[in-house]
């Protein structure tokens, strides 16, 4: 596609591992959903913000419990404004027009806010900031989980990064097929690559280890990299001329 077999091969390899990562991510998300890992991280965040006794009161509030898919599991997502309103109702008083709370974490918010809605907004912003940090921790767990899932996938298929690159370099027809389909794909979950065509009888070695590390980077990383490489296509570097003048 680019007039360069080497650059085409790199793009196709990226798309291959985007597909492999997407498949492993689907397995991982199913496991995380089964054990309710997102809910556990969210529960941990609320505990860190308010302390266990108050956090349990918040999470047991009917408005929060209504979000739970199962009674024994914490919700995987809580709207920040909803949580802020629950906290306000439970722990913030408004006596004689003065906002106050006997919770140390909430006192500064009550002091700086001019109205109940201001307190709710500040609590929601605080919750958003805390969940952003938790999301970063969840992503690190997901990356580690991807690597763990990739071990049996790469071992039993087996999926060898070196063999994949060699095969795609030598098989120009299959490489072109991958790149052509990638040009119209929106994400890595659309099944760009038939991985069964890249399975080889190989021993566990460097190629499989490289494949595991590649999968652990995640499908968005490889898909975005492949898309950036596709933009290097010289045939797409600029619009075609409107007219062709003969003899020039």
Residue 211 CA to residue 20 CA, distance in Å, equals 9
In a domain, 242, yes or no: no
Of the three residues 94, 127, 143, the one that is the final residue of a domain is 143
In a domain, 245, yes or no: no
Per-residue pLDDT at 68 exceeds 70: yes
Number of domains in the chain: 2
In a domain, 248, yes or no: no
Q: So what's the pLDDT on residue 133?
A: 81
Q: So what's the pLDDT on residue 230?
A: 76
Q: So what's the pLDDT on residue 246?
A: 41
Same domain for 151 and 82, yes or no, is no
Say how many CA atoms lie within 13 Å of 45 toward its Cβ. Answer: 26
The confidence band for 75, taking pLDDT boundaries of 50, 70 and 90, is confident
In a domain, 241, yes or no: no
Cα torsion 30, 35, 36, 37: sign:
negative
Q: So what's the pLDDT on residue 239?
A: 47
Two structure tokens written together for 66: 């209504």
In a domain, 46, yes or no: yes
Residue 101 CA to residue 45 CA, distance in Å, equals 21
Same domain for 62 and 133, yes or no, is yes
Residue from 136, 135, 154 nearest 216 by CA? 154
**pTM exceeds 0.75, yes or no:** no
In a domain, 196, yes or no: yes
Of the three residues 120, 143, 166, the one that is the final residue of a domain is 143
CA angle 9, 1, 173 (to 5 degrees): 65
**Close Cβ partners of 2 (under 8 Å, ≥ 6 residues apart):** 8, 11, 232, 233, 234
Same domain for 138 and 151, yes or no, is no
Same domain for 76 and 108, yes or no, is yes
Same domain for 153 and 191, yes or no, is yes
Of the three residues 113, 143, 173, the one that is the final residue of a domain is 143
pLDDT tens, position by position, 203-237: 557 888 899 999 999 888 988 888 888 776 554 44
Across 79-93, average pLDDT: 93
Query: Got the DSSP string for 79-111?
Result: -HHHHHHHHHHHH-EEETTEEE-SSTTTHHHHH
Q: So what's the pLDDT on residue 180?
A: 78
Taking all residues of the chain, what is their mean pLDDT, rounded to a whole number? Answer: 81
Same domain for 46 and 139, yes or no, is yes
In a domain, 184, yes or no: yes
What percentage of the chain has pLDDT greater than the value 90?
22
Q: So what's the pLDDT on residue 19?
A: 86
Q: So what's the pLDDT on residue 47?
A: 92
Decide: residue 139, CB within 10 A, 0-12 exposed, 13-18 middle, 19+ buried: exposed
Same domain for 216 and 183, yes or no, is yes
Domain of residue 151 covers 5-33+146-236
Q: So what's the pLDDT on residue 82?
A: 95
Per-residue pLDDT at 6 exceeds 50: yes
Per-residue pLDDT at 87 exceeds 90: yes
* CB-based contact 73:87 (threshold 8 Å): no
Residue 211 CA to residue 220 CA, distance in Å, equals 16
In a domain, 244, yes or no: no
Same domain for 208 and 150, yes or no, is yes
**Residue 216 neighbours by CB distance under 10 Å:** 21
pLDDT tens, position by position, 159-207: 888 888 888 888 888 888 888 777 666 666 554 565 555 555 555 578 8
Per-residue pLDDT at 32 exceeds 50: yes
Residue 176 CA to residue 72 CA, distance in Å, equals 50
Same domain for 126 and 45, yes or no, is yes
Per-residue pLDDT at 46 exceeds 90: yes
Same domain for 176 and 122, yes or no, is no
Same domain for 154 and 232, yes or no, is yes
Q: So what's the pLDDT on residue 95?
A: 72
Same domain for 23 and 44, yes or no, is no
Per-residue pLDDT at 244 exceeds 50: no
């Amino acid at each position: 596609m680019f007039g360069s077999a080497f650059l085409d091969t790199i793009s196709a390899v990226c798309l291959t591992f985007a597909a492999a990562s997407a498949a492993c991510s689907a397995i991982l998300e199913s496991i995380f959903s089964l054990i309710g890992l997102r809910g556990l991280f969210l529960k941990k965040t609320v505990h860190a913000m308010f302390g266990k006794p108050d956090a349990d009161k918040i999470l047991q509030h009917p408005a929060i419990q209504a979000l739970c898919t199962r009674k024994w599991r914490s919700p995987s997502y809580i709207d920040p404004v909803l949580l802020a309103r629950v906290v306000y109702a439970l722990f913030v008083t408004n006596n004689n027009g003065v906002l106050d709370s006997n919770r140390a974490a909430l006192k500064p918010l009550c002091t700086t806010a001019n109205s109940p809605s201001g307190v709710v907004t500040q609590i929601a912003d605080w919750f958003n900031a805390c969940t952003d940090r938790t999301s970063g921790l969840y992503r690190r767990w997901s990356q580690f989980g991807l690597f763990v899932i990739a071990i049996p996938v790469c071992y039993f298929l087996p999926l060898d990064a070196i063999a994949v690159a060699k095969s795609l370099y030598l098989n120009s027809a299959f490489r072109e097929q991958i790149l052509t389909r990638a040009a119209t794909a929106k994400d890595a979950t659309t099944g760009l690559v038939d991985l069964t065509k890249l399975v080889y009888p190989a021993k566990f070695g460097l190629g499989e280890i490289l494949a595991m590390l590649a999968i652990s980077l995640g499908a968005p990383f490889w898909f975005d990299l492949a898309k950036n490489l596709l933009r290097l296509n010289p045939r797409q570097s600029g619009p075609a001329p409107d007219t062709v003048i003969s003899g020039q």
